[in-house]
């Protein structure tokens, strides 16, 4: 007889090694999880309807346009016939997307047929966005000429400086001034940083390193989604903040907008956007602000032709030699700080940094949650063009790549599983029966034939108990 549940090898969850990746949601993935009343309030604004429409899949946009001016439900079979049979899988997907976003709803036709029709609020305000009409934005009030007007070059420089304050803080560089405790809380909430177990200081996580590898547009969008998760805790209205963010997405670079008519909550939200570099405001009480390039088309992931900042364009600047030396041809403090995450810096010149990859430097990065594949991927992504001409398939020395992976394997020699110990079997036959059942179901963690001992996966404990009771009664 097995001693079920006695001697359970239960481990504390904090000791388990968890490998989680950064989840970057697009607009659809974010909105589909919002309550129905939030979507209804959002669709009151034409700008949001237009932003949602342009983020829909191409087939979904076609469906919306074809029924936009139809005043009665269109049979679902008719909508399905607008595409070929080969695209039936895509049709099912876009049907789900439009339903999840409450863009269209089911309605009955005479005779009992079920049809699709656009949600009245979405339909009305999408028409206003495409054809004109609707209420003007509160921030579009007429303004006098600004004697301290800022040009596009200044706004680009300002937004880059403000955003890099956040990135510098994440990599632990010395340039950490300018970031508020509020921004640090968002980084911790997003899992991009965590408190160090020894001194409690924020350190970058595995997801944080993945975040640094994203392009600037994706970084800002992901950061803002994490911020929006906390707006209600700040006493702000989520719908109001989202609406303002969508309106900024359609603003004009270099044009100033009025703060007149903004609610107290939006004025607080504006100051947070100012801190992150999405808007420029000369001083808090100024009656105007300038959206920066970071705020333009922020919800538009399909806009591949949007202008980007010069520092966002990928440029190869890293050379890795077989002796583990790393040469980074850069004068960017942020790029130097990133290199320092997994190398030991030796020399720094005006446009060149020299470091070396060592076992200690890699282990330090691994302890911070950065993986070997992420380090190798970063070196490949920013490899100098001279390294790419030699062998495009493998721009890094194979010895360096293999050694980084081996250093990671040193830390991953043990794996942890929660299990339940089964022992004290009365016969070898009973032990063999239960062992074969556990093996066939893939829930056997460990066994010792001589001592008639098994360790079963904790999640399968109830199923194994049921099987054993049934077997005991039969025998």
Query: What angle separates helix 152-171 from helix 216-228, to the nearest 10 degrees?
Result: 70
- Distance of CA 268 to CAs 119, 174, 262, 265, Å? 32, 29, 10, 5
- For residue range 435-472, list pLDDT tens digits in order: 998 988 888 988 998 888 999 988 888 888 888 888 88
pTM, 2 dp: 0.68
Residue 240 lies in a domain: yes
Residue 449 lies in a domain: yes
How many Å is the Cα radius of gyration of the chain?
Answer: 29
What's the structural domain count of the chain? Answer: 4
Residue 141 lies in a domain: no
Regarding whether 169 and 123 lie in a shared domain, the answer is no
Q: Running DSSP on this structure, what letter comes out for residue 50? A: H
Regarding whether 423 and 408 lie in a shared domain, the answer is no
Regarding whether 434 and 391 lie in a shared domain, the answer is no
Q: Running DSSP on this structure, what letter comes out for residue 299? A: T
Residue ending a domain, among 131, 166, 185, is 131
User: Is the predicted pLDDT of residue 315 greater than 80, yes or no?
Assistant: no
Token code pair at residue 134: 């609707």
- For residue range 201-227, list pLDDT tens digits in order: 788 887 888 788 777 888 888 888 888
Residue 173: band (very low, low, confident or very high) from pLDDT cuts 50, 70, 90: low
Give residue 31's domain range. Answer: 27-131
Query: Would you state the pLDDT for residue 361?
Result: 93
Q: What are phi and psi of 409, to 5 degrees?
A: -65, -25
Regarding whether 290 and 167 lie in a shared domain, the answer is yes
Query: Would you state the pLDDT for residue 17?
Result: 32
Regarding whether 460 and 346 lie in a shared domain, the answer is no
- For residue range 112-131, list pLDDT tens digits in order: 788 999 999 999 999 998 88
Regarding whether 324 and 287 lie in a shared domain, the answer is no
Q: Residue 329, CB half-sphere, CA atoms under 13 Å: how many?
A: 11
Residue 16 lies in a domain: no
Residue with tokens 């004025």: 267
DSSP letters along 106-145, please? EEE-TTS-EEEEE-HHHHHHHHHHHH--SPPPGGG---PP
Residue 326 lies in a domain: yes
Contact call for residues 246 and 48 (beta carbons, < 8 A): yes
Mean model confidence pLDDT for the chain: 82
Residue 144 lies in a domain: no
- For residue range 237-284, list pLDDT tens digits in order: 888 888 888 888 888 888 888 888 888 888 888 888 888 889 998 888
> Max alpha carbon distance in the chain (Å)?
94
Contact call for residues 419 and 12 (beta carbons, < 8 A): no
Regarding whether 195 and 96 lie in a shared domain, the answer is no
Regarding whether 369 and 274 lie in a shared domain, the answer is no
Residue 231 lies in a domain: yes
Taking the CB of residue 9, how many other CB atoms lie within 10 A of it? 15
**Domain containing 116 — which CATH number?**
1.10.10.10
Q: What are phi and psi of 11, to 5 degrees?
A: -105, 150
347, 352, 354, 357 alpha-carbon torsion, rounded to 10°: 140
User: Is the predicted pLDDT of residue 3 greater than 70, yes or no?
Assistant: no
Residue ending a domain, among 412, 434, 465, is 412
User: Is the predicted pLDDT of residue 14 greater than 80, yes or no?
Assistant: no
Q: Running DSSP on this structure, what letter comes out for residue 397? A: -
Contact call for residues 118 and 103 (beta carbons, < 8 A): yes
Residue ending a domain, among 264, 298, 332, is 298
- Distance of CA 374 to CAs 130, 190, 234, Å? 44, 19, 35
Helix (H) / strand (E) element for 347: namely: strand 344-349
Residue 360: band (very low, low, confident or very high) from pLDDT cuts 50, 70, 90: very high
Query: Would you state the pLDDT for residue 19?
Result: 47
Residue 138 lies in a domain: no
Regarding whether 470 and 388 lie in a shared domain, the answer is no
DSSP letters along 93-116, please? HHHHHHHHTTSEEEEE-TTS-EEE
Contacts of 356 by beta carbon, 8 Å cutoff, 6+ apart: 324, 325, 326, 343, 344, 346
């Amino acid at each position: 007889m097995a001693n079920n549940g006695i001697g359970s090898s239960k481990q504390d969850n904090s000791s388990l090694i968890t490998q989680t990746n950064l989840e970057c949601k697009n607009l659809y993935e974010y909105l589909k999880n919002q309550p129905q009343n939030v979507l209804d309030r959002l669709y009151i604004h034409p700008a949001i309807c237009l932003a949602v429409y342009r983020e829909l899949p191409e087939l979904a946009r076609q469906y919306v346009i074809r029924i936009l001016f139809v005043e009665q439900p269109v049979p679902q079979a008719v909508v399905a016939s607008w595409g070929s049979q080969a695209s039936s899988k895509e049709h099912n997907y876009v049907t789900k997307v439009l339903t999840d976003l409450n863009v269209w709803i089911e309605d009955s036709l005479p005779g009992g047929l079920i049809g699709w029709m656009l949600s009245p609020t979405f339909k009305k305000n999408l028409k206003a966005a495409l054809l004109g009409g609707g209420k003007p934005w509160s921030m579009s009030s007429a303004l006098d000429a600004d004697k301290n007007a800022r040009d596009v070059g200044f706004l680009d420089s300002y937004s880059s400086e403000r955003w890099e304050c956040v990135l510098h803080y994440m990599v632990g560089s010395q340039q950490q001034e300018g970031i508020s405790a509020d921004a640090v809380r968002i980084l911790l909430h997003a899992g991009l940083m965590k408190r160090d177990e020894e001194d409690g200081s924020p350190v970058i996580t595995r997801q944080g390193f993945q975040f640094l590898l994203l392009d600037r547009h994706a970084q800002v969008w992901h950061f803002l989604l994490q911020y929006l998760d906390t707006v209600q805790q700040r006493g702000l209205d989520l719908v109001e903040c989202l609406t303002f963010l969508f309106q900024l997405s359609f603003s004009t670079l270099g044009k100033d907008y009025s703060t007149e008519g903004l609610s107290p909550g939006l004025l607080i939200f504006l100051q947070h956007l100012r801190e992150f570099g999405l808007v420029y405001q000369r001083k808090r009480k100024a009656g105007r602000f300038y959206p920066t390039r970071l705020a333009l088309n922020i919800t538009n992931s399909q806009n591949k032709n949007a202008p980007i900042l010069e520092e966002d364009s990928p440029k190869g600047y890293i050379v890795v030699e077989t002796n583990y030396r790393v040469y980074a041809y850069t004068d960017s403090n942020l790029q130097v700080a990133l290199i320092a995450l997994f190398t030991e810096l030796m020399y720094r010149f005006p446009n060149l940094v020299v470091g070396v990859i060592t076992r200690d430097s890699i282990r330090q990065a691994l302890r911070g949650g950065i993986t070997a594949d992420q380090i190798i991927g970063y070196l490949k992504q920013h490899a100098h063009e001279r390294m790419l001409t030699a062998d495009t398939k493998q721009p890094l020395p194979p010895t360096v790549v293999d050694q980084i992976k081996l250093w990671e394997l040193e830390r991953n020699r043990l794996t942890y599983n929660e299990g339940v110990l089964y022992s004290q079997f009365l016969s070898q036959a009973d032990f063999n029966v239960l062992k074969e059942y556990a093996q066939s179901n893939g829930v056997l963690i460990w066994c010792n034939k001589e001592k008639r001992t098994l360790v079963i996966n904790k999640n399968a404990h109830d199923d194994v108990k049921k099987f054993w009771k049934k077997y005991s009664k039969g025998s």
